[in-house]
Structure 1
Amino acid sequence: MPPHLDSGAGASGAPLHLLVLLHGAGGQHGGGDHIALAHAIRHGALLLIPDALSTSWDFLRGGFGPDLAFLDRALLWTMQRYQVDEQAMALAGFSDGASYALSVGLMNGHLFSDILAFSPGFMAPLRREGQPRIFVAHGKEDPVLAVQRGHDIAQRLTQEGYDVSYEEFDGAHIVSPPVARAALQRLET
C-alpha cells in the first residue's frame, strides 16, 4: 500500500477520488484496467476493480442480485477504510460492465458523480436518482456490440437532460487508450 494511503487520506490529507471499474464478459477490461491504474497512481485516486460472481454481471443473467450486493459491500468496505471524496466517485465499465455501470450508476446518481461507459450494449436502470455526468465511447468497427448502440444510448441520455459526452473512435471492441485518458481526465474537472 502506498505510504500516503496509510491514513486513509491523500498525500495532502484531502479526500480521495474513487474510480470503480467493472469488467466485461469473462473478466475482460478491453485494456481499460491498465489505463485506469495509471490514472489512479498519477492522480492519487483509489481504484476499485470488483469481479462479478459469475462470468458477467447478474443483471445480464436475469436481474440485480448478488453482484449488486457485493458491489455495495465493496464500496462500504472502501469508504470505511479510506477518506473518499463523496463528490468524486465514478463508476466505469467495458462492454457488459459498461451496461452494468450505466444501469447501476443511473439508479445511484446521488452516489456517483460520473459514469464512464466503454462499448455499452444497453442500459436498464430500475429507477433513476441524481444527475451524474456520463461519458460514452464506442469503436466504429466493434464486431461484438454495434457502434449504433453506444450512439443511441448517448443520444437518449442527452435528450433526458443528462450531461453526456460521446466519442466514437476508429477501432473494434476495446477501450481506446486516447479516449479513455480523455474520459478519465474529465474526472479531474
Structure 2
Amino acid sequence: MPTRRAFLAACGQLTGAALLAACSGNGQEGGAPGPGGGGEAAPDPAVLTVRPDSVSPTGSPPAPGTHPLGLAEDRDALLHVPPGLPVDQAAPLVVTLHGAGGNAEGGLAPLRGLADEHGLLLLSPASRGSTWDAIGSDWGPDVELIDRALREVFGLLPVDPGRIAVAGFSDGASYALGLGLANGDLFSDVIAFSPGFVPPAPRTGRPPVFVSHGVDDEVLRVERTSRQIVPALQEDGYEVTYREFDGGHTVPPEVAREAVDRLVRAGG
C-alpha cells in the first residue's frame, strides 16, 4: 500500500483533468468491488495475468533479430532476439517502453546493443495512443496488449522467471514504475530512465528499482520528478539505485549499461 507521501508525490506531477483521473482512488488496495457492490474484488486494471509458468514454449524459437508479434495491424509489439541465444537455456527478458510520441522501434533503441552483448530478450510494445494509458487517464488497453505480448513471448522462448525486468524512458519510465510496482511478483527489476511520476495502482512485492535523470533535463525537471519519486519509494521500503548525470532528457550509454549490468549480475 503506497504511503500518503508517495501518493501525493505521484499526483503532484499532474494537472487538471489528468490529475483528477490519476488521483481519483484507483490506487486503493485490493481493486474495485464486484458488480454487486460487495463480495469478491474485481482484478485491478494494472495487474498483468500471464506468468512464465502458465505458458509452455512450442515450436521452433525465432531467429536472432527483431520480429513483429502480429498482435495489432498498427503499432505492433516487437520482440528482439539476441544472436547466440542458447536454445536450451531460459533467457532474461526486458519489457522496454518508449516515451511519448514514440513507437516500438524507439523503445528498443536504448537497450538493443546491450541486449545483443549480454543475451537479453527485449519485448517492446507500442502504446495504443500517443502515450501510455495511465499517464493521463487510467490503466486499460496498453496493459491488455502487454499481457498478450508477454503470453506470445512465453510461448516462443524459455524465459528466466527470476529475471524479467520492465524498463522505460520518459513517459515510458513513468509507466514502467507504475506497472512494475503493481506486478512485483512478475518483474524482478524496474528501470526508469527520466520518469515524471508514478501512476497510482495497488502494489505487489518489492522489486529493486533503478532510476536515472539528467540534471539539465528541460522536459521533466529533475527537482520536480526523480528527486521526489526516489525518496518516496525509499520511504515505502523499496531498494532504489539513483543516478543523476550531467545532461538533458536522454539515456547516456553508461547509465543504460549500469542498469543492464545489475540485471545480468542478478542471474550470475
- Pair in the same fold by TM > 0.5: yes
Q: CA RMSD in A?
A: 2.1
Q: 1:2 aligns with which of 49, 57, 64?
A: 64
Q: 1:26 aligns with which of 83, 86, 101?
A: 101
Matched to 2:193, the amino acid is: F
Aligned to 1:81: 156
Matched, 1:51 2:126: yes
Matched, 1:182 2:258: yes
- Pick the structure with more helix per residue: 1
Percent of pairs with identical residues: 46
Aligned to 2:235: 159
CA distance in 1, matches of 2:253, 2:136: 29
Matched to 2:95, the amino acid is: V
Structure 1 gap ranges (5+): none
Tell me which structure has the larger Cα radius of gyration: 2
Secondary structure in structure 2 of the residue aligned to 1:93? strand
Question: What does 1:35-184 correspond to in 2, within 5 Å?
Answer: 35-148=110-223, 149-184=225-260
Q: Provide TM-score, normalisation by structure 2.
A: 0.65
Shift of 1:125: 3.2
Post-superposition Cα deviations, 1:18-50, rounded to whole Å, max 9, x if no partner, equal: 011101100079x87334111111111110111
CA distance in 2, matches of 1:63, 1:115: 20
CA distance in 2, matches of 1:39, 1:108: 25
Secondary structure in structure 1 of the residue aligned to 2:264? coil
The number of residues matched between the two structures is 185
4+ aligned runs moved over 2 Å, structure 1: 31-35
Secondary structure in structure 2 of the residue aligned to 1:25? coil
Q: Is the 8 A contact 1:119 1:136 kept in 2?
A: yes
Q: Provide TM-score, normalisation by structure 1.
A: 0.91
CA distance in 2, matches of 1:131, 1:45: 22
Matched to 1:176, the amino acid is: P
Q: Is the 8 A contact 1:108 1:128 kept in 2?
A: yes
